[in-house]
Structure 1
Amino acid sequence: MGTFLLGFLFFFGLIILISGIFTVKQQSAAIVERFGKFLSVRNSGLQIKIPLIDRIAGRINLKIQQLDVIVETKTKDDVFVLLKISVQFQVIRDRVYDAFYKLENPQNQITSYVFDVVRAEVPKMKLDDVFERKDDIAIAVKGELNDAMVEYGYDIIKTLVTDIDPDVKVKEAMNRINASEREKVAAEYEAEADRIKIVAKARAEAESKRLQGQGIADQRREIARGLEESVDVLNNVGINSQEASALIVVTQHYDTLQSIGGETNTNLILLPNSPQAGSDMLNNMIASFVASNQIGEKMKEQNKAKGITNKKRDNNQDHEN
């Protein structure tokens, strides 16, 4: 009986001794109370407390934590939006007592401040400004939280506006506007491309016409030079200029008839095509040149006579004055 009692007391004492030893994990702290009163803060590692007298009141996480808060509010242009605010916070190591005893639920406290700041800032902005100035909203939330939470032993590391979600109809309208803008830009680029093509084509055609005209001019110049040389050659063998011109016209007439006859699919008919046609054309040309020269000389004489008459009339008027 005595051995049993001794063994029981030894076992009970061992349990009491073991209950006085505890460990604290890395990046955490334990709050130890004695008879319900704060005693100390224990950091990571193996710790000892007095059994049955001291107790662990709680543990606090010292890591950086994140709280996501979704706030519904209205913008200045009366659009309801959902904003997701991510708050990263951490317990200050030398303010563990305040973090444990002063604040019952830090997440609820942070959420309340986030709601208050967001609903004060966003109604001052239009919807487009909310997207463009989301960093300003995050800075305002962080500043308000830092001022409020440092009293409770919490440090606000960073705040982020991670999502802005307008009403479904508003998003559809924005998408339509963006699509219209993109179509407008695409149409402008296509119109510019068409304009460039038209300008390039016009320049190419103008250059083609210029080169074509230059080619025709060169061709006619060479033809004239060839005719001149032909007339000179015929003059050297005793044929006068009129006879040489008639011979060249007739020769070209028959060359043309020969080239037309060589084409099998041509529908061209050259009229007249009699042997006398070349000579008739030459005579007609000469007669036209002579008649034109006579008309020109007569017009010159008329203009000269008219000028003399006008001059005499002007002199008479000068004398009368």
Structure 2
Amino acid sequence: MGDYGYSIEHILMVDIIPDPAVRSAMNEINAARRLKLASVYKGEAEKIIQVKREEDEAESESKYLGGVGVARQRQAITDGLRDNILDFSHKVEGTSGKEVMDLIMITQYFYTIKDLDNSSKNTTVFIPHGPGHVRDISEQIRNGLMEASSAQLNFG
């Protein structure tokens, strides 16, 4: 073209059509790349699912063991309470199990008030206090326990 006075410096090529074999090879390369990426994503997803499953199993086992621990703690408290009542009623003649339970409940009541005082920061708790109120609380607890046990007998 230079002979005719033209000089081509840039050409805009819009539609390149390579040989069908080259086009097929390029498509296979892209497909392989996508399959490789898909397998990586699938592996990551399976790994996440496995980790979640193991976390769920660990949490379930933790809750189960926590429940077993609480049950053992309550059993130990019950056993200790029973032993204390029996020891006290044998060592102090003329006392009944009811009197010992009343004494234990009053002691627990005072411990509860003490714990409220020690643990509360800016909270005010109004608790009726006096010998009559402690007896009322004791009777309410005892009545609740008796009603619960009679309900179990009726439905059991």
Select the residue among 80, 89, 94 that pairs with 2:20: 80
CA distance in 2, matches of 1:231, 1:214: 26
Pairing partner for 1:250 from 95, 106, 128: 106
How high is the TM-score relative to the length of structure 1?
0.37
Aligned-partner Cα distance in 2 for 1:248–1:262: 21
Q: Once the two structures are superposed, what CA deviation does each residue of 1:140-164 show, in whole Å capped at 9, x if it has no partner?
A: xxxxxxxxxxxxxxxxxxxxxxxxx
SS of aligned partner of 2:95: coil
Is 1:193 paired with 2:47? yes
Displacement of 1:171 in angstroms is 3.6
Distance 2:123 2:33 in 1: 59
Q: Which has the larger radius of gyration?
A: 1
Q: Which residue pairs with 1:155 in the alignment? A: none
Alignment of 1:1-321 (within 5 A): 80-81=20-21, 167=22, 169-236=23-90, 237=92, 238-263=94-119, 265=121, 269=125, 272-275=127-130, 276-292=132-148
- Give 5+ residue unaligned stretches, structure 2: 1-18
* Distance 1:289-1:80 versus aligned 2 partners, 3 A rule: closer
Distance 1:220 1:296 in 2: 20
What root-mean-square deviation, in Å, do the aligned CA atoms of Structure 1 and Structure 2 show?
Answer: 2.9
**Structure with the higher strand share, 1 or 2:** 1
Amino acid at match of 1:259: D
Give me the identity figure in percent.
Answer: 19
Q: Are residues 193 and 212 of structure 1, via their aligned partners in 2, closer, same or farther at CA, if it must alter by over 3 Å? A: same
CA distance in 2, matches of 1:268, 1:211: 36
1:275-319 Cα shifts (integer Å, max 9, x gaps)? 34443232123223444566677x59xxxxxxxxxxxxxxxxxxx
| Structure 2 SS opposite 1:239 | coil
What TM-score results when the alignment is normalised by the length of structure 2?
A: 0.70
Measured at CA, do residues 171 and 267 of structure 1 come closer, stay the same or move farther in structure 2, by a change above 3 Å? farther
Name the CA distance, whole Å, in 1 between partners of 2:122 and 2:54: 36
Number of residue-to-residue matches in the alignment: 134
